[in-house]
Every structure is written in structure tokens, then in C-alpha cells.
Structure 1
Amino acid sequence: MGDQGRPEKGRRPVRVANCSGYKSGFANRVVQTTLLIKFSDDPSHEMFLQATLGDVDFITGDYLAEMNMAENAEAYKAGKVPGYETTAWEAIKESIDVVAAKGIKIIINGGSLNPKGLAKRVAALVKEKHLNLKVAFVEGDDVLSRVGPTVSSLSGTLPEHLDSDNKAITTQTKYGFLKNETPLILARVYLGARAIVKGLQHGADIILCGRVSDASPVIGAACYWHSWSETDYDSLAGSLIAGHLIECSAYVTGGNFSGFTEHPAETFAHPGFPIAEIEADGSCVITKHPGTGGLVTEDTVKCQFLYELQGSMYLNSDVSAYLNGVRVECVGEDRVRVSGIVGKAPPPTTKLAIFYHGGHQCQYILNATGYGTREKWELLERQLRTLVKNRGIMEDFELLEFQVVGVPERNPSSQLLSTSYCRVFAEAVDPKTLLGLLDAFKDISLRHFSGMFSPQISPSGISLTCPAGFHFALDMRTALPNPFLAYYPALYAQNNIEESISILGADGTMTLNVPAGHPPTYASLEPRENTPAPTSVPLCNSTPTRSIRLGDIALARSGDKGSNLNFGIFVRSSAAWEWFRAFLSHEKMKELMGSDWDESFFLERVEFPGIWAVHFVVYGILGRGVSSSSRLDNLGKGFADFVRDREVQVPESVLGI
């Protein structure tokens, strides 16, 4: 049903293309004006390119980050935005003629908060163009009425935290919002591929979803194509990882690739978007259209495989994938085969993303130049903490951090090379607390930055002066309190989800609604694997060593999972692997993190011997995660190259010396 003249369905690998990997922005309130600034977005034109540059069977796209649905929720309720992602609409509008002519099916989560609204608009376009396409939309991810509508309604019945099996979760990470009696903004569960498969079985050509998991469109396409049953777990698990590999668009074709310095810069000017060719057993080949930029190599695929993992077990609404046996092998130019994934029944719960008003934030970026910089920053922190304490507001801050960024170059050849900066970051429920910090800044800044602030006498009566060499960038907008949304990742019982898919007629009315049902069986959550490093490697015990940067022999990728940071790193030879896995122990990882390590964190370690990789999860390092995180690198993307920049002692035998 719905094969539309494709007799080869199921007899060959299904070619699933990706056209979008993210859509994110941030809401920034300045004085009385609300601005929604979109700072990152995959171009809508990529869907058209994937449809026209070669043959594919499906085009999928991930348009949702953990923040952008929440950022638009209040504006959508007020009727100020359509609720769906406008770039998803633009992509379909540009591509619809060619996908109809070529029989390509589209499955995307660009419906965001309003998949029905996007489906109606696409159905109207289909009617206008007299195309023979069925449009459908998936519902069931919105559970706000069940878990909300306010924070107070959660008190005493707080949904179980996503990492509830980890006793090392910090108080800030787990229960930061219980004292804030504010409305919940959003509560969305991550749906699987069940409704997508049923829609395809009923002939749907364009399926528009809300908060399905990033890989669900790919799983749904492969499951339908190969007619898998709900218990073909190995195959489903393989397609889950195929989806994981291509969901971030160009990340697997050269974007965010730590090995980019080994290739000509023009290689990465405009990387082509990826395609997964998924076999009946779930294994896949990652590739891209010939002639497009970027590259697909074992290294790019390994980097993306290691990105934002949960460890050695990848949980999904449809299947639990076990990754220990993963294999990555080049099988041609820009063609890399991924295999070895094993599947089991899914867990009884799925991820629930809850967002609420977390309070207010502000930050100051202060520069210092030249001699005695460290002492200048120490004095600044002492001065500000003294003034804040004397104002009686120190206990009202949820966060007050002084983050020094950069180290002045010794004997600098320019002032810029002699300059570092301090990021003063603060959070509080009441914006008046942050205005108190601004008031404290006035007491020390006027004496150094003439005309920056109006004169004001310190209430404490203490006269403070700013150290020599301080200066501001002439932009103080971030010093004003800005409201922010906070994130609580929870667990939600799959059997409580009411998921369905609806198919629209030519007039935009619903002609069929099919419940998705629930998985036939579940497997209880298992303890996460946490593998110690081998205690010794005889080959390297007595050989001389040489000091090099870790990145000279290893590639890596890092990213965020809510409150946690994941970090995967691999070497590129079997000779280096035995030393590497013994070297990169829990204690060595903490040592490499330096002062970024905190004993309140919890460190999890696993190995992937088939790709010579070690993977860590650092629980709690991102605070409450996403917009609540105080870290400058709040999504953890730069952490991998920080660790790769550390100098380590490597046996000369490993280096081939």
C-alpha cells in the first residue's frame, strides 16, 4: 500500500536523505521589547538539492533542538507565530513538484508545535498544484495538560528525572525549579516511529511531525521499506544509528569535524548533506550525492557516531540499541559502511522535555590588558562580591560566576595579544537582584570608565577603584536582566502516550485517523555500563615517551545531553589502541579536565574497540542544561578540542619512533 510504482521496495537498500539538522534561536528581552533572533538554521534549499542531485527514496529532516519549541510556545499561544518551522514550509514549497514527479516521500519534524497547521498548508499547496500526494501529520507529543500546567502541580509528584538511575545528579540539575511557582511553558514527549510507519502503510507521501525523536523519521522510512516487524530489534537498532548518523545534516560529511586541518580548507566550504543506504538487516552505508562538498570517511562517521551518545546503550521509543560491537569501514569514495549494532526491546519510558521560566540572567564581558592580569581578575571578583554582600543580596543569586577567558601572550606584539577577558555571569529569580549587581558595578566602574555610568555613592560607604588595564566593549545590553527558560528532562511512561497519525483530504479535512498503539513489549532499564580502563599494557610499560598534544594522535567529538556533556575520542591504529584505552582512564580524564572537573560531577566511561574509541559522559557539568547553563560553551561543542589540546606523554613505540 502506498508504494507508488516502486516494485524494488524491500529488495534493495532504502536511500534516506537528510535535509536539515537543527533549528535554534534564542529569545532576548531588552528593556520593554521582545526580540526573537534566529542565529542558526539549515537552509531550506537543501531539501531541493537532496531531491534533484540524485535518486533517493525518502527525505527526512530534523528541525528541532531542545530549546526552539519552548522559545516559540508562548508566542504560538498568543497567535504571533504559526507554531511550525517556517523553513520546513519553505523547503516543501520549493521541492514539492520534484518530489511528486520522482515519487520521493518526505518525513520531517518541522511541524514543531503545530504539525496539523503545517499539514493543512501543505495540503492546500498540493490541491493548488493538482498533485497526487497524500499529506499526514502526527500528534500525541503534547502532554502539558497531564503534567502541568504549573510548577506547583508537580510538587510532590515530580516526574522522574531522565538520569534518575544516576545518584550523582547535582541538586541544581535535578530540582532547580521546585522553588519557582511559575507556569510550565512546554511538556513534550519524544515519540518513536510507530505513527510514521502506519501513515506510510496508508499511503501518506508527506508526513509532518512534532517532537518525534531525531532518528524516528529514518527508522520509520526503513521499517516501512523493509516491512520489519515491531520485534525486528537488530534491524530497528541499526536504522536508529543510521538516523543518528545523518540527523545532524553536514556533521557526518565534514561539519564540526576535528580532523578538518588535515584537508584543504575548500573541502568544507559547503559540505553536501548525507544519505543513509539502509539494508534489510539494519546495517547502512553513509554517503552523499556525487560532486557535493565535504567528505564521508571513516573518521567523519566515527566522529558523528560518538556525538551526543548516552554511553554504550542508545535508548529509543522503538528499540534499545547496543553499540559495543559497532564497526565502521570505508567501502568506496565517500561511502562508509556501519554495522555491528544489536537491538533489544525498548524501555517502558521515553524522554519528556519540560520547560519553565527559570528566572533571569545577565552577563558582563570585561577586558584586561597587560601586566598582572591574574591579580586584576582576583581583585575584581573580591570587589564585586564585597559590594553584593554589603547590599544584602548575595543569597538571592542562584549563580554568580567569574569566568576568565584566555591567557595574555608573553611579550605580546599587539595589545589584542596582551588581552584576556572575564565573563561575569549571574542568575536570579528576581531581576532586582541582577540590577543590584549592575549597581555594584557602578561603584567601581565610574572611577575608571569616565561617562560609562551615572555617578552613585556606594550604600556601603566603601570606596573601591578598578585596577589598571580594565576596559569594556561598548555594548552593555547583556548587563540588563533577561528572562530565560529552564529545562527539566524527565521520563514518561510509553503506555500513557496517545499517539496517532491523521491523513488529510484535498480540502484539508481529516479523512483518516490511525492510532499508533504501543510497543508490544518492553525491557526494563539496565544499569549504564561504566568500564574501568585496563590496569597495564605490557607493550608500553618500558618504552620511552614523548610529550605531544593529544589531538596529534586522536580525533574527537563532544556535545550536550541536557545537564550532561558527552565526549568521544578515538585513535586511528590498532597499535595505538592498546596504549590509548589503558591511558584514558577515569582518573586521567579528570586530570585532563583540569580545573573544569568538580567532585559533584559523575563520570561514566565505555569503550568501542571496533573503532578504537573511548567515550565519556560527564554528568552535571552543564548545570540545568541548554539556556540555563552558565558555561561559555553551554552546548559542550568545544570541549573535545580543549581536551585534544592538552599535552600528554605518549610512548615512542605508539608514535612509530
Structure 2
Amino acid sequence: MMAPARRPVRIANCSGAVSDSGDFMLAQATAGPIDVITGDYLAEANLAQHAEAYAKGEHPGYASTAYDGLKKSLEIINEKRIKVVINGGGLNPKGLAEVIHKTASEKGYNLKIAYVEGDNLLPFIHDIVKPDSQGRLPHFDSDNNQVKLAKDTDNFLQDPNKKIVAANAYLGCRAIRLGLEKGADIIICGRVADASPVMGAAQWWHGWKDDDFDKLAGALIAGHLIECSTYGTGANFAGFDQYSIQELLHLGCPIAEITETGQCIITKHKAMNGFVTEEVVKCQLLYELQGNIYLNSDVKADLTNVAVRQIGPNRVYVSGAKGYPPPPTTKLAVFYRGGWQGEFTVNATGYATKHKYDFHEAQLRTQLDEWGVMKDIDLLEFQRIGVPQENPRSQLEATTSLRLIIQTQHRETIRRFHQAIWHNFMQHFPGLSCSLDARLSSVPVPFLGYFPALVAQSQIQESINIIGHEGEVEDSVVVGPPHITEKLAPRENYDPVSSRALSSFGPSKTIPFGDIILARSGDKGANVNIGFTPRKTYDNAEVWEWLRSFLTKDRLKELMGDDWQDWFYVERVEFAKIRAVHFVVYGALGRGVSSSARLDSLGKGFAEWLRAVHVPVPVKFLEVDPRSRI
């Protein structure tokens, strides 16, 4: 007789970035029944941001908000026996674990604290990241010979000025699961993959084996859906215009109820604000993907047949993930001293804006040339922000900005850059304005270069470390690499198959794309991803057939307009079960993350820009205004 399946594990996320207050953890612990709290405090560059200060003893190495959340929540965690798995340990998971152990012991709480190590590969980085026989470094996208890297992406290794300051591998859930099996109540991690805390908790709860790949893939998707804090309950949601301002305030974080078979229900505490709908879940599912295969150190999840279905108020059922063995490699985020960066912003008002900015750029470039400074500049961009309102009703409506950004290896070059600005300042175009505190932007700022590398999982010593009553590690186990791995296949990439001629949908009207389409975008290193799906009002088979026929790779290039560069590369796939078309644009964020000179360096605004582009939409789709709710 088979044992009955265990009830779903109820996992509540409390953070999607280091900015999320410790109050979020406390709220998740107190607002309703949960089994596990997870938190993702580490954006891509968080670790490196404080690496040198931590090395000098000037920073604790862990996220202060994670520490704050644990301090505020320890009493209720102890009382309710809630498990906690967070990556807020940053560079120093051991340090945060020791602090929390000390606090819990002093308060008499019966809590076993543990930490995960093994992600820090800085001591071995030059043995891992080294040129192959053709002189290429192991870049995350190096297997795709169609992808070109931005200038200066891979020139850091032999440069003494570009010291590597952090190198952290993305770990999976094996150490987390083992720690929970050994009785740990709180597990502090460093750089684990975003969904790994959720996966480890689900695997422990249900007793899955390491080769239960379909179940692990389902937990990976659940973790992906809740790891970005309030993104799962209405934040960063393209359909926010369907809601009143009051409905958007003070959002709570999401919860995943993960079943024994790996499906999940995304929900939230009833007492908290927010909304969990099919649209919200679809948009979050499409966030920061690399295509139809979602990678983790423990499983590859095929999203092709993932489906979402509203089953009740603020309850969305997610199913259909298919799992396969993980790759033998994992991502390794390498950060190094990139040099110095400077910025300056000027404003132009109203008439002949293009000519004004052309003049300002020529003026500055001419001066830098005459002084012989251009040879020392790695990057110099003049980014035009906004378009003045036609026939403006106020001065602000008529004003746009020119963002000047420079990167160089020499601090002195930044000073010369600003001297060139001031040298010709009184010869400016008519009506120039800038902040009266412009001197503050004249300060050279060091920036970190970023290189997403690959490392063999066999080179990682991932371990779980249990702290005993006396504050010393009483048990430490290296979990080792996955027993089964599978080499990555080339990514799927195709234009629509058996698509309909657009003329067959009848006459069209040119409107903003966002009137009928939702979208979500984000960064994947130097690349930006974007997924498009219909608003609920238009979510039917015919609109889907039009959308997939309309959104070809060439169409995306057309939508990108002047921002498209011929050296970019595009991949496209479809998710028919959620009626979504997904793209990755390789190279669109320059070198990515902390290296990027883009104003929107994380790619979050990419979707909203393309939703604002006017496109021809079949008239027969436009009978209902999706925003009529407000």
C-alpha cells in the first residue's frame, strides 16, 4: 500500500532585492500559516559591490536587511517552527549565521543555524577562467557562435589594473536540502541561484530524489515565480493600469504552495494587499528567461508546456514543467575593477532640440580631441532622453535631457572630461539647463566590470555547515556535484510555423502595442529578454494566432527602431499554453550589469518601451477597452 502524499509545502518569499525591509520577513511569518520563508537578497552585482570593503574588514559581507528581518522574526520563527532559507549571507554566510546563532542562543530559542559555502571561487579564479586553445574565455554565451560580445568584455584577465574582486558560482539546492534533513531551522546562503532556496525546501519536504527531475523542475518554476518579492503580487506589472492607485499600495509578498508532484499554486496571505492573477503570474514567468529552457545546477526545466489557471481569488495553479538532468557547468559571476566612470546631464527645452544636442556633442568631442584625451576614453556616449511635447502647456513638457557618460581606465581622464564641459560651458546652445548641484556629478566613480563565466560543477566544493550549541561547526558535509548531468543542447530559436497572413485578420488600426499586449523584460547579463502575452480582455485563440504571426524576429528588430544594432543577435520561442512569444536580444545591455552604460542597465524598461510603440492591430480586436475597470 502506497503512503499517502504529503500536503503541499507552503513557502513564503520575503525579499527580491537587498532593498526589501526586514519587515517583509516578519509580515510573512505572522500574517498566516506557512512552513518555510525564503528570501532572495542578491541581485547580480550585490556581492561585488562590497567585496573590497569586506576584504578590508570595513563591511560585514552580508545583507543588512536580511539580518534585520531575522532579528525581528526570530521569536515567531521559534514559536511557529518555521524554516528559513535565504541568500542574504552574501559574501559572508558564515558570519551572518554566527551572528544569528548568538542572538538565538542569548534569547533561549531552540533554533539550529546552518550556512552554505562553496560559491566563492575567487582563490581559484585564474585556474578556472583562462583562455582555451583559440584564446577564448569561458563566457556564458560562448557556445553560441552567433553571439558577439560588446567591446572590452573579455580583456580583463591579463590587465593588472583590472583586478578581479569577486567570483561566485551559482549553487543549486543540494546543500540546502541536506541541511534541512539534518534538522537546520535557518540556513544562510551566499550566491545560490534565485530559485534554489525554494527548490531545496520543496525537495526536503516531499522527500524527492535528486533525479526526480519533473518535480524539481516544477519547484524551480515555483521559485522563479515568487523570488522577486512583490513582482508576484502586482509590482512591476504591465497591467497595473487596470488597478486604482490604492490597490497598488503596500503590496505583500507571494507564497507558493508546492505539491508532491511539483505543481504549485501561487497565492498570498489574505491579510496582505496585492493581486495574484493569471496575468501577473504569466508576466513573472516571462521575466529574465533565457528561452524555453530554464537552467539551475540541479535541473533543466523545459517551460514549453507550462500552463497557468486561476482557481480562486488570488490563487493561480501552475503546471506543465518538464525536467531534465542539469548541465555539467553552472554560471560563475566574475567582477573586476573596470576603471572609472563619469556622468553629466544637461537639459534642452523646446525648439530645435536635435540641433542643440548635435551641437553640444560636437563641442565636447572637439575639445577632447584638441586636448588629446579621446585616446584614453574606453566609452563615451551621448544619450538623448525623451522627446519634447508638441505645443507644450508647461516648460517641463517641453524639456528633455542629454546624458553624457564616460568610462576610462584613468581617474584623471574623468577630470579632463568635466573640464571640457566647463571650458565651453558659456558657449552653450540656447536655453541649456542643468542641476545647480552639477558639481556632484563631476566626481569620478569607480565601476566594476562584469564577466559571466562558466565553471564545471565538479570544481565546486558546495557544503552545508551546521553550527552546534557552543557556536562552533558541529557538522560539515560537502555535497558534491550532481550525479547525473546532461550537456546543453543548442537553444531553440524559430520564427512562427504555419502562421497566418496578417491581412487575413482584416483591416487594422495603428495603436500603442500595450493597449492589447502585456510584456515583461529583464537582464540576463549583457542580454535582455522580453516576453509578450495578450491582456486578459484579448486572451483568445485568434488574438494569439495574430500575435505569434505578427511577432517575428524581424518585427522585433523593427520595433526596436534606432536602438537595434546589426551586431545584436535575437532568439525567439513560443509558449502556446500561456499564449506568449519570448525573445532574447544578445548584446543589448552592452557588457551588462555594473559594466553597462545603458540608462536602463537591468532591462526592466525594455518591455514598457516596446509596448508604447504604435503597431497595426486588427480592428475587430478593439471592441473593448481593457482599462475600462478604472
Category of TM-score, reference length = shorter chain:
over 0.9
For 2:240, which of 231, 240, 260 is the aligned residue?
Answer: 260
**Which of these residues, 109, 120, 128, is aligned with residue 131 of structure 1?**
109
AA at the equivalent of 1:544: P
1:490 aligns with 2:424: no
Q: Which residue of 2 aligns with 1:236?
A: 216
Residues 615/176 of structure 1: CA separation in 2 closer, same or farther (3 Å cut): farther
Aligned to 1:374: 354
Which of 86, 91, 94 is the aligned partner of 1:113? 91
AA aligned opposite 2:83? K
Q: How far does residue 489 in structure 1 lie from its aligned partner after superposition?
A: 0.4
Q: Which amino acid aligns with 2:602?
A: L
Counterpart residue identity of residue 640, structure 1? A
Matches within 5 A, 1:409-558: 409-445=389-425, 447=426, 465-476=427-438, 477-534=440-497, 536-537=499-500, 540-541=503-504, 543-558=506-521
Task: Give the distance between the partners of 2:130 and 2:287, measured in 1 at CA.
Answer: 36
Please tell me the residue identity of whatever aligns with 1:473.
Answer: S
Which residue matches 2:265? 285
8 Å Cα contact 1:325/1:341 also seen in 2 = yes
- Would the alpha carbon gap of residues 358 and 156 (structure 1) be closer, same or farther in structure 2, given more than 3 Å must change? farther
What amino acid is the match of 1:635? L
Instruction: Answer whether contact 1:84 1:113 (CA < 8 A) is retained.
Output: yes
The amino acid that maps onto 2:547 is F
| In the alignment, structure 1 residue 578 sits paired with structure 2 residue 545 | yes
**8 Å CA contact retained: 1:533, 1:586:** no
Deviation, 1:149, is 9.5
**8 Å contact kept, 1:147–1:154:** no
- SS of 1:548's partner is strand
Select 1:172's aligned residue among 139, 143, 151: 151
**Equivalent position of 1:591 in the other structure:** 558
Q: Which moved more, 1:196-205 or 1:526-535?
A: 526-535
Deviation, structure 1 residue 20 = 0.7
Instruction: Provide the residue aligned with 1:36 in structure 2.
Output: none
Query: Mean Cα displacement is larger for which, 328-337 or 397-406?
Result: 397-406
Which residue matches 2:628? none
Tell me if structure 1 keeps the 8 A contact 2:225–2:232.
yes
The superposition leaves residues 206-248 of structure 1 with CA deviations (integer Å, 9 ceiling, x where unpaired) of 1111111111100000001111001000000000010000000
Between 349-358 and 378-387, report the one with greater CA deviation. 378-387
Q: CA deviation at 1:561?
A: 1.1
Residue 24 (structure 2) aligns with: 46
| CA drift at 1:331 | 0.6
Where does structure 1 differ by over 6 angstroms across 4 or more consecutive aligned residues? 149-158
Match of 2:140 in 1: 162
How far the C-alpha of 1:158 sits from its partner, in A, is 6.2
Q: Which residue pairs with 1:201 in the alignment?
A: 181
The answer to whether the 8 A contact 2:137-2:154 is kept is no
Residue identity over aligned pairs, in percent, reads 50
Q: Superposition pairs for residues 70-85 of structure 1, below 5 Å?
A: 70-85=48-63
Question: The residue matched to 2:358 in structure 1 has which SS?
Answer: helix
2:587 match: 620
Report the CA distance between 1:176 and its aligned residue.
Answer: 4.3
Match in the other structure for 1:30: none
Distance in 1 separating the partners of 2:470 and 2:102 = 7
Instruction: Give the C-alpha shift of residue 472 in structure 1.
Output: 1.6
For the structure 1 residues 104 and 542, does the alpha-carbon distance in structure 2 shift closer, same or farther, using more than 3 Å as the test?
closer
CA contact (8 A) 1:147 1:153 kept: no
Look up the match of 1:58: 36
Partners of 1:120 and 1:110 in 2: CA distance: 13
1:136–1:206 contact (8 Å) kept in structure 2: yes
Q: What amino acid is the match of 1:101?
A: E
Q: Deviations over 1:15-74 (max 9, x none)?
A: 000011111xxxxxxxxxxxxxxxxx1010111111111111100001111111101111
How far is 1:151 from its partner? 9.3
Tell me the SS of whatever aligns to 2:379: strand
Q: Which moved more, 1:491-500 or 1:392-401?
A: 392-401
Question: 1:333 corresponds to which letter in structure 2?
Answer: P
Equivalent pairs counted in the alignment come to 615
| 1:25-44 equivalence runs, <5 A | 41-44=19-22
1:16 aligns with 2:11: yes
Report the Cα distance in structure 2 between the residues aligned to 1:290 and 1:173, rounded to whole angstroms.
50
Counterpart of 2:627?
A: none
- 1:352 matched to 2:332? The reply is yes
Q: 2-side partners of 1:541 and 1:343: how far apart?
A: 38
Q: Which amino acid aligns with 2:531?
A: G
Q: Distance in 1 between matches of 2:270 and 2:137?
A: 48
Counterparts of 1:170 and 1:227, CA distance in 2:
43
Residues 150 and 587 of structure 2 are in contact (CA less than 8 Å); yes or no, is this contact kept in structure 1? Answer: no
Moved more, 316-325 or 366-375: 366-375
For 1:346-405, what per-residue CA distance to the aligned partner results, in whole angstroms no more than 9, with x for missing partners? 000000010000011111100111221111111111111111112222232111111111
User: Does 2:253 correspond to 1:273?
Assistant: yes
From 276, 279, 286, the counterpart of 1:299: 279
Structure 1 residues 152 and 313 mapped into 2: Cα distance closer, same or farther (>3 Å)?
Answer: closer
Q: Does 1:100 align with 2:78?
A: yes
Q: Secondary structure at the match of 2:316?
A: strand
1: distance between equivalents of 2:559 and 2:252? 35
With normalisation by structure 2, the TM-score equals: 0.95
Compute the displacement of 1:324 (Å): 0.5
Question: Which segment drifts farther, 508-517 or 387-396?
Answer: 387-396
Report the alpha carbon displacement of residue 171 of structure 1 after superposing the two structures with TM: 4.0
CA contact (8 A) 1:503 1:513 kept: yes
Cα pair distance change 1:297/1:173, threshold 3 Å: farther
Is 1:569 aligned to residue 536 of structure 2? no
Q: 1:357 to 1:155 in 2, by over 3 A?
A: farther
**Structure 1 residues 417, 538: closer, same or farther in 2, change over 3 A?**
closer
Once residues 220 and 591 of structure 1 are traced to their aligned partners in structure 2, the CA distance between those partners, rounded to angstroms, is 43
Single out whichever of 374-383 and 122-131 deviates more from structure 2. 122-131
Cα distance in 2, alignment partners of residues 155 and 125 from structure 1: 52
Shift of 1:9: 10
Q: Give the superposition deviation at 1:552.
A: 0.5
The correspondence for 1:638, drawn from 605, 619, 622, is 605
Q: Partner letter of residue 623 of structure 1?
A: G
How far did residue 594 of structure 1 move? 0.6
Alignment partner for residue 318 of structure 1, among 293, 298, 302?
A: 298
Q: Tell me the distance in 2 between the aligned counterparts of 1:272 and 1:154.
A: 48
Measure the CA separation in 2 of the matches of 1:186 and 1:157: 23
Q: CA deviation at 1:485?
A: 0.7
- Residues 377 and 407, structure 2, Cα contact 8 Å, conserved in 1: yes
1:90/1:166 CA distance change after superposition, 3 Å: same
RMSD (Å) for aligned C-alpha atoms: 1.9
Tell me how far 1:443 sits from its aligned partner: 2.4
Query: Is the 8 Å Cα contact of residues 505 and 546 (structure 2) preserved in structure 1?
Result: no
TM-score for the superposition, normalised by structure 1: 0.91
Residue 28 of structure 1 corresponds to which residue in structure 2?
A: none
Matching residue's letter, 1:616: F
Change (3 A) 1:399 1:564: same
Deviations 1:312-335 (A, max 9, x none): 000110000000001010010000
Q: Which secondary structure does the structure 1 equivalent of 2:238 belong to?
A: coil
Provide the C-alpha distance between the structure 2 equivalents of 1:252 and 1:521, rounded to a whole number of angstroms: 32
Query: Which runs of no fewer than 5 residues in structure 1 stay unpaired?
Result: 1-7, 24-40, 448-464
